[in-house]
Amino acid sequence: MQPSGILETALYVTDVETAARFYGDVLGLECILRAGEESVFFRCGPGVLILFNAEKLKERPKDGLPIPSHGATGPGHVCFRATRDEITEWKSHLEAHGVAIESEFDWPNGAHSLYFRDPSGNSIEFAEPKLWNLK
């Protein structure tokens, strides 16, 4: 048995409202669900990106859904798939929105990556799929 893909990815943020504006307005992701100041869910291709406020998760009543506790401390990381041309466009778009580019380089296998931070300090990357020998 082997999973067929990743259905959802989660990042932990300090302020859901600020994060929702960044991922919706700057990255253009479609918000599909919002749970107050606890979480926001975005469609990203065939999957979902969830942004959780880890502190608010701790406050969740234990009588709700039987979801095991989870969370993380420190910056997380997510990498979005993009072509080299799209990465160039993303760089211009991000800079136009005042987002500082942290790093940009070519990997030994020739794949190109662009790194920046979201408002909570998470490491966000755009990279060519060939980074992982994907098409």
17-55 confidence digits (pLDDT tens):
999 999 999 999 999 999 888 999 999 999 999 999 988
* Residue ranges with strand state E in 29-94: 30-35, 39-44, 47-53, 77-81
Q: What's the pLDDT score for residue 60?
A: 64
- Break the chain into its structural domains and give their ranges: 7-61, 75-134
- For the cut 80, the answer to whether the pLDDT of residue 62 exceeds it is no
Sign of CA dihedral 61, 52, 44, 74: negative
Question: CATH assignment of 7-61, given 3.40.50.2300, 3.30.413.10, 3.30.870.10, 3.10.180.10?
Answer: 3.10.180.10
Same fold, 7-61 and 75-134: yes
For residue 3, name the pLDDT band (cuts at 50, 70, 90): confident
65-121 confidence digits (pLDDT tens):
777 778 888 899 999 999 999 999 999 999 999 999 999 999 999 999 999 999 999
What's the rounded mean pLDDT across residues 5-15?
94
Query: So what's the architecture of 75-134 in CATH?
Result: Roll (3.10)
